[in-house]
Structure 1
Amino acid sequence: MTTIKEIKQRLAEELLWQPWMEELKKDERAGVQNALKTWHRAKQKRDNLQREHEEKLAFDASYRVDATSHVAGTDEAGRGPLAGPVVTAAVILPNDACEHLVGLNDSKQLSKEKREYFIAKINETAIATAIHFQSAEVIDEVNIYEATRLSMKASIESLKVKPDYVLADAMKLDIEQPQSSIIKGDAKSLAIAAASILAKTARDHYMEQMDEKYPGYGFGQHAGYGTKQHLEALQHLGVTPIHRKTFEPIKTMIQKG
């Protein structure tokens, strides 16, 4: 009789239903039935990811005039933090299936490990990518919304391949190309989701560097967001050059001297 361990190992090797699995339905051992249920759950998850991937591809394709058109997606990371830049990215993906990007989603929905994995896959797959850092100084000068818009524009204009159409995540840009502002775009467009990953990862890496430059604030943990740890550090250590001076409570701290 085949052991439960052997059955589990064999199931782990199969992505599609095989005729030999029919016999497992008749196996009365609880371990075998649990292994079969686990396989079906994993299969359902893979099917859902594939379906979502195809929907994102179809969404992007709907903006192409013809098979040679290039659609760019752009997104941002870091509008809410008290410190550090807002970072934007732009991505043009090929018009094929992009199978290496199945499972790519909004960066906030993925673990750090998954984001790092997809960074490599995006760079391997994309026709063109660009990343732009908008400093805290510019954010304070023009406000966070306008700073993000300008950064997205810079990302688009930095692409080595000129896009025919631009999909921006919830933003209207001053660019020459036709565009659409897509609410929750990183959940609908594969190109925007890819840009979301590039922007988020680039910003996280930068804030990890700032953690070394300005120890004690915890930038490597909270990436500049207003956590309890960060607010307490501000009270004890003061404001750094990368803090946004127009954001509260920093603005009030500066006014009080």
Structure 2
Amino acid sequence: MARTARAFPLAVALGAALVAPSSAIAINGGAAPTASASASGGAAPGQQPAGVPRRNASSARTGGAVPGRTPVRRGSGRARTPTRRRATAPRRVAPVAPAPAPTPAPDAPPVGGLFPVQGSYTFGGEDARFGAGRPGHIHQGQDVVAASGTPLVSPVTGTVTWKANQPGGAGIYLVIRGTADGRDYVFMHLLRGSVQAAQGDAVAAGQAIAQVGATGVASGPHLHFEIWVGGWQERGGAPVDPLPQLQAWAGGS
């Protein structure tokens, strides 16, 4: 009986340890985990695991940082939509209208002078006449068809006011202003290297100035000849039909 009595308290003590509440001390001296604690050592609800920063309730579910800490951006799986800038309509610039062709002046009375082409020539067909149609403009002179290299002379005494080259049109050209009548006499498509007068030079009637050529836009060698009153290509200036004047000079030669 004495051996049995001593064993009973021991059994009671062991049973009490097995059913001890959560506040009981574990054998290793640490606090006993609650029944809801994970088997992997996770903390109980409401208890923060050691070494992990505490997060508030609003950031725990969304993954936000603790107040006072810099938030960490995480990929959302969707591409960010770039900010759309308001489209600015390009400025519209009004096209510059080409200058209208000057209105032909009334036929000027013929003046004394010399026929400018010193060789065989023809006045060509209707397309060579003053006022014939051209792409984007009208013909403002009279074509005198002659062989390349045919000498040209100044029909009147005057001054060379222009000497230039327009490869896309008139080619090499001269403008002579008559001393007596103030009219401008224009010679176009001159042979390259044949011009014998410079801008500003005074020329006498009958003085050699150049030769017939086909520079610029020309279908063949010829002299494109114009007469202007009021100044060539000047405000208030206008071309006149040069054929009556050419015919008068041709008849007097």
| TM-score bucket of the superposed structures, by smaller chain | under 0.3
Q: Which has the higher helix share?
A: 1
Task: Name the structure with the higher strand share.
Answer: 2
Q: Which has the larger radius of gyration?
A: 2
How high is the TM-score relative to the length of structure 2? 0.22
Higher-RCO chain (CA-CA 8 Å, sequence separation at least 6): 1
TM-score (norm 1): 0.22
